[in-house]
Amino acid sequence: MNPAMPRISWVRGLQSLHRASSATSRRTAAAAAATGSLAAARSISTTPAQSSTKNTEWVRSKLWKDGEAPGAADPYTQRPDDVPEDSAVTRLPREALDAASTTDPSDRRPLAVRRSRLPFPAGRNEAATPEEVAATDPAYEPATSLEDLAEMGTLSEWWEQPGHWSELDEFAAFASAEKVTDKAAIEVYYRRALVEVLALQETGALGAWAAQKWPEGSREDLDAALDVEIVAQDGAASAVLKGDVAAVAARLQQTPEAAAATTTTMAEGATARPERISGEEAAEMIKAWDPSWKGIAVNDQMKFALRKRLYQLTGHLIPDAKLGAATTVGHLLVLTAKQPKAKRLAEILQKTEELQQLANVKLHDRRVSSIDKEVAVGRWKLIEEELAKRDLPITGLANLSRNRERERLMGKV
């Protein structure tokens, strides 16, 4: 047997793999050489560069026919005329650049924390030694007992300390905190909102004040708006106001400081919510109005203003999907005065008059326990006294285990 012959069968496979890899490397080298020659051919090309510039100018002239096309002809190589040569190109907005130029680079706190007027807790650091404190404060005397040490509040109590939180930092919601659920009261506030929107529309200020926040006003502002009469015209396609329209519009265009000065205040001086109208009073007001004002047509601008004003006065927000389908004031009123769905079955049953009129039916909002039954018949006080005499738990199992019998069977007792 020839000793040079391989004794292992898979050695031949390795030899074929070596030949295949050598062929692949030769093909890769040939491709690289071809690419290099092509790049060299491109580098020594005699095609003038002015032809590409002319093509770019021709395309720019076709795309921009009114005057000279703005910007650089080649945005990849040329800088715009309004940017200095020595300035660095950046995509940050001007506000971020101004903030970065006036901020200490060593301060790594978030921008909102740095601009806030709230005094945030200081970062953690090592306490100074008594010698270091005595060097800066000659009147310093070290504590000799635990009672002499000053009590420092924890971090969780930081915002409860005086001076760390003020009334200016309290969240002021746009919508009413308490939702108006009475249908008659919602209709009264809706009529007020319609008068205010039409008043701004007649004075030509609705376009500028539609997206701004209107002062909620006082009870006097509510009465002044309701005193204006709404007259539908052209088959309820439009409406005209009769009354002091200019005064209503002027009340809505007040500055926040002037509106706060005219708002009713409490005895302590803090601004209070305007007086809410009751359901009985609202029902009496509705009887004196002509119902034709509910058929007045509303456009998109009026719907936006009415929805925003009702959300501020009543706390009800009409969804966008339903707002687009509404075309009259009555449609919006139905969407706003819709009662919210009950969260529990007991709430639905308690509103059912047929069940309340039955003498042998009583509704409860929770499960009736055995203790509730004993309290109803007057025996619970006696049971409680007897359990206390015998040192037995009144409710629950006290210190006794729930699985006492199981522990006894398993030999644990």
5-21 pLDDT per residue, tens: 445 444 454 455 445 44
Contact 215, 263 (CB under 8 A): yes
Tell me the pLDDT band of 262, cut-offs 50, 70 and 90.
low
Contact 307, 323 (CB under 8 A): yes
**Do 308 and 257 belong to one domain?**
yes
Over residues 130-143, mean pLDDT: 85
Question: How many angstroms from the chain centroid is the CA of residue 193?
Answer: 25
Pick from 160, 169, 156, 250: which is nearest to 205 by CA?
A: 250
**Do 221 and 310 belong to one domain?**
yes
**Do 201 and 288 belong to one domain?**
yes
Question: Is 336 exposed, middle or buried, given 0-12, 13-18 or 19+ CB atoms closer than 10 A?
Answer: buried
Contact 245, 228 (CB under 8 A): yes
CB burial string 364-403: b at 16+ within 10 A, e below: eeeeeeeeeeeeeeeebeeeeeeeeeeeeeeeeeeeeeee
Number of domains in the chain: 2
**Do 324 and 380 belong to one domain?**
no
Residue 348 lies in a domain: yes
**Do 393 and 361 belong to one domain?**
yes
205-220 pLDDT per residue, tens: 888 888 888 888 888 8
Contact 334, 225 (CB under 8 A): no
**Do 350 and 304 belong to one domain?**
no
Higher pLDDT, residue 41 or 188: 188
Query: Three-class SS of residue 245?
Result: helix
Boundary of a domain, candidates 291, 320, 337: 337
Boundary of a domain, candidates 317, 337, 357: 337
Residue 148 lies in a domain: no
**Do 289 and 195 belong to one domain?**
yes
**CA dist., res. 72 & res. 82, Å (int):** 10
Residue 18 lies in a domain: no
Tell me the pLDDT band of 308, cut-offs 50, 70 and 90.
very high
Q: Which of 43-52, 119-128, 224-233, 268-277 has the lowest mean pLDDT?
A: 43-52
**Do 381 and 332 belong to one domain?**
no
Q: Which residue has the tokens 């709430």?
A: 347
**Do 289 and 255 belong to one domain?**
yes
3-state DSSP of 224-242: HHHCCEEEEECCCCEEEEE
Contact 134, 140 (CB under 8 A): yes
**Do 394 and 315 belong to one domain?**
no
| pLDDT of 258 | 64
Residues 6+ apart with CB under 8 A from 262: 215, 217, 218, 254
Higher pLDDT, residue 304 or 339: 304
In the numeric block, which tokens belong to residue 206? Answer: 């609705």
Residue 353 lies in a domain: yes
**CA dist., res. 345 & res. 365, Å (int):** 9
Residue 9 lies in a domain: no
The yes-or-no verdict on residue 380 having pLDDT over 90 is: yes
59-68 pLDDT per residue, tens: 777 777 777 7
Residue 318 lies in a domain: yes
Which DSSP string corresponds to 28-70? HHHHHHHHHHHHHHHHT----THHHHHHHHHHHHHH--SSSPP
**Do 257 and 378 belong to one domain?**
no
268-282 pLDDT per residue, tens: 333 455 678 888 888
235: amino acid identity, one letter: G
How is residue 15 annotated by DSSP?
Answer: H
**Do 326 and 358 belong to one domain?**
no
The yes-or-no verdict on residue 381 having pLDDT over 90 is: yes
The yes-or-no verdict on residue 170 having pLDDT over 80 is: no
Boundary of a domain, candidates 292, 320, 337: 337
Residues 6+ apart with CB under 8 A from 218: 262, 263, 264, 274, 275
Residue 234 lies in a domain: yes
Pick from 141, 403, 194, 163: which is nearest to 313 by CA?
A: 194
CA distances, 404 to each of 207, 400, 407, 412 (Å): 77, 8, 5, 9
Tell me the pLDDT band of 47, cut-offs 50, 70 and 90.
very low
Q: Which residue has the tokens 């006065």?
A: 313
Q: Give residue 221's region: left, alpha or beta (phi > 0; psi -120 to 50).
A: alpha
The yes-or-no verdict on residue 142 having pLDDT over 60 is: yes
The yes-or-no verdict on residue 78 having pLDDT over 80 is: no
Helix crossing, 329-336 with 300-314: angle to 10°?
Answer: 30
The yes-or-no verdict on residue 400 having pLDDT over 80 is: no
Half-sphere exposure of 253 (CA within 13 A, CB side): 17
Could you tell me the residue range of the domain that residue 187 belongs to?
183-262+275-337
The yes-or-no verdict on residue 382 having pLDDT over 80 is: yes
pTM exceeding 0.85: no
The yes-or-no verdict on residue 383 having pLDDT over 90 is: yes
Contact 200, 249 (CB under 8 A): yes
